[in-house]
Every structure is written in structure tokens, then in C-alpha cells.
Amino acid sequence: MPAPDALKPLAERMRPRTLTEMVGQTRLLGENAALRRAIEAGHVHSMILWGPPGCGKTTLALLLAHYAHAQFVAISAVLCGLPEVREVLAAAQQRHAQGQRTVLFVDEVHRFNKAQQDAFLPHIERGSIVFVGATTENPSFELNSALLSRCRVHVLEALSVDDITGSLRRALADDQRGLAGRSLVVGDDQLRLIAQAADGDVRRALTLLEIAAELAGEGGAITDATLEAVLADRTRRFDKGGEQFYDQISALHKCVRSSNPDAALYWLARMLDGGCDPGYLARRLTRMAVEDVGLADPRALAMAIDAWDAFDRLGSPEGELALAQVAIYLASTAKSNAGYVAWGRAQADVREHGSAEVPLHLRNAPTKLMKSLGYAKGYQYDHDAQGGVALDQTGFPDALGERVYYRPVERGMEIKLKEKLDALRTARGKARAGR
């Protein structure tokens, strides 16, 4: 009968047992890092570990308990409700009364609601638990402020290809927990392919290596053909409703705004590759045409809507090219947010000044009564005025006076608009002054 450890997956068997075995996270766990020194001295504190899958959050919690000589207890917010949480906390309280510390590891802590998160607070304050919450989501949005105020947030990063490749080599060389006993033949190029496919997740990389080892067999070689079968259905990390989603759409928008079509294409490809709804991306590209290109190039809005329509007609993957082309155009053309800013100024005035009366000369007068009340009196028909504009006629309520919201920039089509509006505004000012 095989030993229990032999039945565990390779990723679990190779889980680091000391801080020295940890890969990556040098900012937090390097030789002279403050957190590493505190852990090695057994001075552990409650914390939130925020980082992508497979970056070492669970392992770090286990090591905290190991170095602090504390009982390690793990629960998952996906599987546990408040009754189970209370049982765990009661047991921790008993251990605390007997002089034993408990490191309580809560995986996916962001999935607990506010009441469940609040249940930990008195126990953290009393010191009956060292709370370690793990999350892939931004704690600022997903955790309540009371819990955050009692914990330090440590940000963990996705592991590099070199870090993951080192972990794979360690697994191949380990004859107790790893695969050294199988006498596998595998080259550096193949290891890097596995590391790249893991997309920053060392647990995923070890799982892929284990599958490849099974296909190769005892004493066999892990070749490119082997990896082609193992890596055929790999996908990149992408959470359609989480932090990565919003980070990536922000990157796409900002690269369009900064006129970097190559970077914009990269982030568009990343999001489509991760399964983002193309309709959402079409809508966001249309927003960029309005918000960031604006009247500097009025064609951009029409192109964005045409690309959206083309995708709806063609579907994926052919329609993705239409989205790619409009992303290139939006990033490459002239930019102006003058219309966007002007709209905000107008909205602010409406909020501040409320329901200011429409000036009498701008009102319609379809009845005799309205005419007798002065409606439309003094209105100047612009087409009959010299130059096609009645310069001494205001368009604002009397309570506001004249306003300037729209200030075109000297880019693209807005250069011509700026010249015209500057001249008109100057002429209007002179006409009002001489009235």
C-alpha cells in the first residue's frame, strides 16, 4: 500500500517547508526583508495576503504557523458558513486559554459577507488567533474596513518564468518528494515551456509537469510532442468580474488615450483571449471615441459604431479584427477631451443653479397670450443677421450670464473649431460691451 504522501499531487508534495525553499516574493521574503525576519523570529501578526493563484499565499500561512510553533487551521470561505466559523473560533479560544497560538488561514476571504468578516474581529483583538486571509481580489473593495484596520495587507506577485523553472528543476531533482526516482529526461526548453504555460502559477506548473511525466513514463523523455498534448487547452489567468478584469480594461483605455496602438492591441488581445465579452469591449471602444478622441476626429465615433456592428454581423473570430482596427485608429488619431470636460461643466452648472428661467426672447410664442407676455420678444433670427450670427443675443438664463464650457484644443479638427469659436466669442464680447 503506497504511503499517504505518495498519493498527494506533486504540487502538494513539493510545497516549501522553509522560507529558503520559497521562490519569488523577494520584496517580502528576501534575506533582509522585514517580514522574513519577523517570521523567522516567530513574531507573526494578522495579515491579508493579496495575490494571484499559485503565488504562495497558502504556503506562507503554513510557514507562519511553523515558525511561530502555532496550530495551523485552514478554512475556506467558499465552503464554510458562520456556524462553522464560530466552532473554529471557539476551539482557537480554548487553545489560547491553554497557552497555544492558532494561525487561522481563511482562503478566499473576500467571499465572506460583512457579518462573517466581523465574527473574526474580537478574536484578532484578543490575540486568540493570528488571522491570515488570502484573496485574489483587491482588499480595498472586498473586505470591510474594520477587518482591514486590524490586519496588514501584503501584496504577493505572480511568479516569473525563471522562478517557476527553478521550482520544476527542484521537483525533478528531489528523490523523496519529487520525480527524481523516475529518471525522466527533460530539457531546459521544455521546462520553460511549462513555466510559461503556467502563467505565474507554480502550482499549475507542477501539475503540468506531473501530467507530462505520466505521459512520458518511467525513464522516458518529456519532448515537445509530449508538451503539445499536455498544454493544448491551457488558458491565461483572467477573472471576468474581478480585479484583473478592471486592471486590463483600464490599461486598454489608457493606452488608447496615450496614442500607443501597439500596447492597445496587446491589452485588447489579452482580454479577448481571456474570454471577455466582445460586446463589452466594443462598447468601451465607442466610449473612448467619445471621451478621448471627441471632436478632434469626429470620424472616430462612426468607426467605433461600425466596428461594433461589424462584430455583431461577423461574430468571432472574424469580427475581432474590426475591434482591433478601431482600437488602432483610436490610439493613432488626434485626441481631445474638450467635449467631455465641457459636458461636465454644463452639468455642474445645472446642479448648482437649478431651474433657472429660460430668457423670454428664447421662448416659443405660439399663442396671442404668450406674445402679450413677451415670449419671443427681441429674438433675432440668426440667418438674417450679418455673418449668420446675432452676436449681441445671449443663450443663457439671466441668472447665469454668459458661460464658456467648451474649449477646443489645438489638435485635429478642433483646430478649425477653436479658430471659429474664438472669433465668435471675441465678437460677442465686443457686441455686449457696446450694447
Residues 89 and 52 in one domain: yes
CATH code, domain carrying 316: 1.20.272.10
Among residues 238, 257, 256, the alpha carbon closest in space to that of 323 is found at 256
Residues 59 and 134 in one domain: yes
pLDDT on residue 277 = 87
Distance, CA of 261 to chain centre: 20
pLDDT on residue 181 = 87
Residues 41 and 143 in one domain: yes
> Does residue 238 form part of some domain?
no
Residues 150 and 182 in one domain: no
Written as nine digits, the cell of 211 is 501530467
Residues 151 and 166 in one domain: no
Find the DSSP H helices in 51-187: 57-67, 82-97, 114-118, 121-126, 139-142, 145-149, 161-173
Q: Is 68 left (phi over 0), alpha (psi -120 to 50) or beta?
A: alpha
Instruction: Choose one of 196, 230, 264: the last residue of a domain.
Output: 230
Residues 324 and 370 in one domain: no
> Does residue 5 form part of some domain?
no
Which element (helix H / strand E) includes 133?
strand 130-135
CATH code, domain carrying 170: 1.10.8.60
Instruction: Choose one of 155, 176, 201: the last residue of a domain.
Output: 155
Find the DSSP H helices in 127-277: 139-142, 145-149, 161-173, 188-198, 202-216, 224-230, 243-257, 261-273
Residues 276 and 372 in one domain: no
Residues 144 and 37 in one domain: yes
Structural domain of residue 198, as residue ranges? 161-230
> Does residue 9 form part of some domain?
no
Cα gap 298→375, rounded to integer Å: 36
CATH code, domain carrying 72: 3.40.50.300
> Does residue 282 form part of some domain?
yes
Question: Tell me, what amino acid is at 204?
Answer: R
Residues 283 and 194 in one domain: no
> Does residue 105 form part of some domain?
yes
Cα gap 314→206, rounded to integer Å: 40
User: What are the phi and psi torsion angles at 75 (to 5°)?
Assistant: -135, 160
pLDDT on residue 7 = 75
Instruction: Choose one of 155, 185, 217: the last residue of a domain.
Output: 155
Q: Which residue numbers in the chain have pLDDT < 70?
A: 1-6, 233-243, 434-435
Cα gap 379→376, rounded to integer Å: 6
> Does residue 6 form part of some domain?
no
CATH code, domain carrying 417: 1.10.3710
> Does residue 351 form part of some domain?
no
Residues 318 and 248 in one domain: yes
Residues 110 and 95 in one domain: yes
Q: Domain count for the chain, please give it.
A: 4
Written as nine digits, the cell of 295 is 471632436
Residues 101 and 201 in one domain: no
